[in-house]
């Protein structure tokens, strides 16, 4: 009996045609072997349409040829809902893929679908902090508060591993659409949005905010590390999200640059703000790190902190420099590490 699975050489040929934006090659391969419509390709092996929609190879906005491939595939047997609307989920990861999103939704993709039954499509642009894709989905009826385990889209955007100035716009877009968050402390949101006047007004009303810690902030993991902001101060939050102007205001208002976050029952925690600033991808925390060092941050402080997020329970006794050398990648010599080396002399 013949197998229902497409053979590997056919799958490779199809992928090569897709990557080359070769509509004729795609048509020839899938016409010859219709089982290729469900071949193990794309994120999670959701299928060839998912791979087409993601526009990963070549890494570019969807060209007319790529859109034509997607349209032909849907019209000739590819399931637009494969993997729980996997094609739309992957397309929604970038603002420049709106034309692909338009095509998929016009052919039946559901903006309120859950990829693999759990991950709302709306969470995709929240993960990558893409405000235009986020607004596009919301404008077409995506529910900002219908996440799994009582998590909202705004919770997910705040908790994502990505770091970008577009976080502020994503927060505004979701809030305007009625999105709610369990991290709704005004001062925290003002730091996340880089809203210095708003933060200043908070501090005028309650100067003790500069010393307050926030045990509810179970977010902040990034760059491969499992460190979060649980029990941290607003200065820690500013350091984690690269909010240098907010950090400067907090220091001016008396924030202690060596204030330690809470230590949990297992003895993990106690980091100062600089641990957050120096362990970001692409030197995202460099300016905050420089501000903290210039403000007298103690670089000899040691803390026992979470290791790699893929190794739950791992704890590392470390200094800011040691931690920065582990994250975002061991052996990566960054401008932030160079700053720390210079300051440690």
Q: Give CA separation, 338 vs 269, 290, 305, 326, in Å.
A: 25, 11, 22, 14
Summarize pLDDT for 239-283 with one digit per residue, the tens.
Answer: 999 999 999 999 999 999 999 999 999 999 999 999 999 999 999
In 3D space, the residue among 274, 210, 213, 209 whose CA is nearest the CA of residue 242 turns out to be 274
Task: Report angle CA 221, 247, 329 to the nearest 5 degrees.
Answer: 35
* Two structure tokens written together for 49: 């349409």
Q: Give CA separation, 217 vs 131, 221, 261, 306, in Å.
A: 23, 11, 11, 15
| Strand residue runs (E) in 35-180 | 114-115, 119-120
Cβ 83 vs Cβ 116: under 8 Å: yes
Summarize pLDDT for 15-26 with one digit per residue, the tens.
Answer: 999 999 999 999
Identify the DSSP state of 304.
E
Identify the DSSP state of 36.
G
Confidence bin at 5 (pLDDT 50/70/90): low
> Is 7 a residue whose pLDDT tops 90?
no
> Is 154 a residue whose pLDDT tops 80?
yes
Percent residues over pLDDT 90 in the chain: 92
Residues in contact with 127: Cβ distance below 8 Å, sequence separation at least 6, in sequence order: 93, 156, 157, 160, 161, 162
In 3D space, the residue among 61, 76, 91 whose CA is nearest the CA of residue 23 turns out to be 76
DSSP H helical ranges for 143-243: 153-159, 167-176, 186-192, 196-205, 234-240
Q: What is the pLDDT of residue 6?
A: 63
What average pLDDT does the structure give for the chain?
Answer: 95
Burial track 230-251 (b if 16+ CB lie within 10 A, e otherwise)? bbbbbbbbbbbbbbbbbbbbbb
* Two structure tokens written together for 89: 């989920």
Q: What is the pLDDT of residue 4?
A: 55
Task: Using the structure block, give the residue that is written with the tokens 């300051």.
Answer: 343
Summarize pLDDT for 32-67 with one digit per residue, the tens.
Answer: 999 999 999 989 999 999 999 999 999 999 999 999
Q: What is the pLDDT of residue 325?
A: 94
Q: What is the pLDDT of residue 333?
A: 82
Identify the DSSP state of 265.
T
Confidence bin at 1 (pLDDT 50/70/90): very low
> Is 2 a residue whose pLDDT tops 70?
no
In 3D space, the residue among 262, 327, 324, 255 whose CA is nearest the CA of residue 291 turns out to be 255
In 3D space, the residue among 183, 153, 158, 179 whose CA is nearest the CA of residue 168 turns out to be 158
In 3D space, the residue among 199, 179, 203, 197 whose CA is nearest the CA of residue 189 turns out to be 199
Neighbours of 262 (CB within 10 A): 14
Q: What is the pLDDT of residue 332?
A: 72
Q: Domain 201-345 adopts which CATH fold? A: 1.25.40
Summarize pLDDT for 304-345 with one digit per residue, the tens.
Answer: 999 999 999 999 999 999 999 999 876 678 999 999 999 988
Q: What is the pLDDT of residue 9?
A: 86
- What's the rounded Cα separation, in Å, for the pair 65 and 161? 33
In 3D space, the residue among 64, 51, 63 whose CA is nearest the CA of residue 16 turns out to be 51
Residue 114 bridge partners (DSSP): 120
> Is 3 a residue whose pLDDT tops 80?
no
Cβ 170 vs Cβ 186: under 8 Å: no
- What's the rounded Cα separation, in Å, for the pair 181 and 126? 13
Q: What is the pLDDT of residue 149?
A: 87
Summarize pLDDT for 114-126 with one digit per residue, the tens.
Answer: 998 899 999 999 9
Summarize pLDDT for 80-119 with one digit per residue, the tens.
Answer: 999 899 999 999 999 999 999 999 999 999 999 999 889 9
Domain limits of the chain? 201-345
Phi, psi of 317 (to 5 degrees): -85, 125
Q: What is the longest distance spanned by two Cα atoms in the chain?
A: 77
Cβ 49 vs Cβ 91: under 8 Å: no
């Amino acid at each position: 009996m013949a197998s229902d699975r497409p053979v590997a050489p056919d799958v490779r040929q199809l992928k090569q045609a897709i990557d080359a934006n070769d509509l004729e090659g795609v048509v020839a391969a899938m016409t010859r072997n219709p089982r290729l419509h469900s071949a193990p390709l794309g994120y999670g092996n959701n299928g060839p349409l998912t791979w087409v929609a993601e526009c990963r190879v070549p890494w570019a906005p969807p060209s007319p040829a790529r859109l034509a491939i997607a349209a032909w595939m849907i019209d000739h047997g590819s399931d637009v809902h494969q993997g729980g609307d996997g094609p739309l989920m992957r397309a929604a990861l970038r603002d420049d893929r709106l034309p692909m999103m338009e095509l998929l939704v016009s052919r039946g993709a559901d903006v309120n679908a859950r990829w693999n039954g759990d991950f709302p499509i709306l969470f995709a642009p929240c993960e990558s902090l893409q405000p235009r894709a986020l607004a596009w989905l919301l404008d077409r009826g995506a529910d900002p508060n219908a996440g799994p385990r009582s998590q909202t889209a705004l919770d997910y955007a705040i908790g994502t591993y990505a770091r970008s100035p577009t976080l502020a716009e994503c927060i505004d877009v979701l809030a305007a659409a009625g999105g709610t968050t369990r991290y709704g402390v005004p001062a925290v949101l003002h730091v996340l949005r880089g809203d210095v006047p708003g933060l200043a007004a908070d501090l005028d009303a309650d100067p003790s905010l500069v010393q307050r810690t926030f045990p509810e902030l179970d977010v902040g993991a990034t760059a491969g590390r499992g460190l979060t902001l649980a029990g941290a101060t607003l200065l820690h939050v500013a350091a984690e999200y690269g909010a240098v102007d907010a950090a400067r205001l907090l220091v001016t208002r008396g924030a202690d640059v060596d204030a330690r976050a809470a230590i949990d029952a297992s003895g993990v925690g106690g980091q100062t703000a600089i641990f957050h600033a120096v362990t970001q991808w692409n030197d995202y925390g460099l300016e905050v790190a420089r501000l903290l060092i210039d403000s007298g941050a103690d670089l000899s402080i040691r803390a026992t902190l979470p290791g790699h997020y893929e190794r739950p329970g791992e704890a590392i006794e470390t200094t800011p420099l040691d931690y920065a050398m582990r994250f975002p990648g061991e052996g990566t010599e960054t401008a932030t590490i160079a700053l720390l080396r210079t300051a440690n002399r």
